[in-house]
Amino acid sequence: MKRLLILILTLNISFSTFLKAQQDYTEWLSIGVYMPSQYSTDLGSGQKQRLETKIISVIARNGIGAKVSAFKITVDTSASVSVDLLNLMAKGIVCIPKFEIYNERIADTGMKKLKVVDVDLTLTVQYIYEDVIFSDINVQLQGSGSNRDQALNSAIRGIRTTDSKWKRFLETTHREIIRYYDGMCGKLMDQAEHLNKLNLTSEALSILWPIPKEVSCHAEVEELSLRIYQKHINQQCKRSILNARALLAGNRYDEGLAVLARIDPISDCYEDAVKMIESIEVELDENTEKNRSAFLTLQQQQQQLEVEKYRYERMMEITAEKNKKQFAEVLSGF
């Protein structure tokens, strides 16, 4: 439970992360590499880190053609959350390595005796929210050294990032993901429409967001997503205006301005939020002035963003926020 709570803390979402976004999330498949402790019981913490780093290197080197990137999922209390992690929570695609020794022996070389280990390394790429496996690959490794630790280090070093099988594996992974969503697209859109009619807009967006751009129905998915998104932010805006009005009426100006600063500039009531700020005719204290300044800065930054990109980033944020608890629970359950 403590580990789950730590992971949930790690997944706190900050909108400022999106202002620094560089990657096109609709084009690239971002995979999180996560190694459950029970899948690496033979490894020490340093060896586990080296294996994870090696796997990320394998994907980075061989995933360019398939537009696949990877990063390590860490469990810590850092306040900073990467955009990759937000995208992962939204799309839910994870690579789970399993490192298992199936044989170990002593080899007498004549000069000295060496510890030899034979290892099975399996990488499984899956959609964790529905337990759907897209692809897997199994590799046999062998390592030797003067002791068990050295033999394990040798086995990890033996993973060749240049081996062509990794490129084929990643291409197959991307192809299978497209095939899966091609087959599920109509069903997923129907589910999203149903949830939207129930005003469950976050849930509806979380169904549509993972659908890749290459899927044949993506144009229809995009149209539906934008329609649901507009409804979502309009609903949020009305609640925020009511909340801010109550805070300002109670002279809690800094809190009220903070609420108004979070209102999406393309929502129907955004101009009402601006007017509320402009209508405050009191002498602002230092904290309130900072909030007002932050609002104006955010407004300027948002206006500079491309509208389409901004909308997609906001939809990713909404989906990640909706999924983050389940994401933490699923990873903790491995």
Q: Where are the domains of the chain?
A: 2-183+324-333, 185-315
The pLDDT value recorded for residue 30 is: 84
Total residue length of the chain: 334
Residue 67, both tokens: 């537009």
Residue 209, both tokens: 């967001």
The pLDDT value recorded for residue 308 is: 67
Residue 305, both tokens: 């963003």
What's 94's DSSP letter?
Answer: E
The pLDDT value recorded for residue 79 is: 45
Residue 295, both tokens: 């609002």
CA angle 118, 123, 125 (to 5 degrees): 170
Measured between alpha carbons, how far is 256 from 288 in angstroms, rounded to an integer? 9
Which stretches of the chain drop beneath a pLDDT of 50?
A: 1-23, 77-79, 283
283-309: pLDDT as tens digits? 455 556 666 665 655 555 555 555 667
The pLDDT value recorded for residue 332 is: 79
The model carries a pTM of 0.78
- Residue 34 has a CB neighbour count (10 Å cut-off) of 20
Measured between alpha carbons, how far is 279 from 256 in angstroms, rounded to an integer? 13
Beta carbons of 202 and 236 less than 8 angstroms apart: no
Measured between alpha carbons, how far is 249 from 17 in angstroms, rounded to an integer? 32
To the nearest 10°, the Cα dihedral for 125, 131, 134, 139?
Answer: 40
Measured between alpha carbons, how far is 163 from 156 in angstroms, rounded to an integer? 14
CA angle 300, 303, 308 (to 5 degrees): 150
46-104: pLDDT as tens digits? 999 999 999 999 999 998 887 888 888 865 534 456 677 778 888 889 999 999 999 99
The pLDDT value recorded for residue 223 is: 94
- Residue 260 has a CB neighbour count (10 Å cut-off) of 25
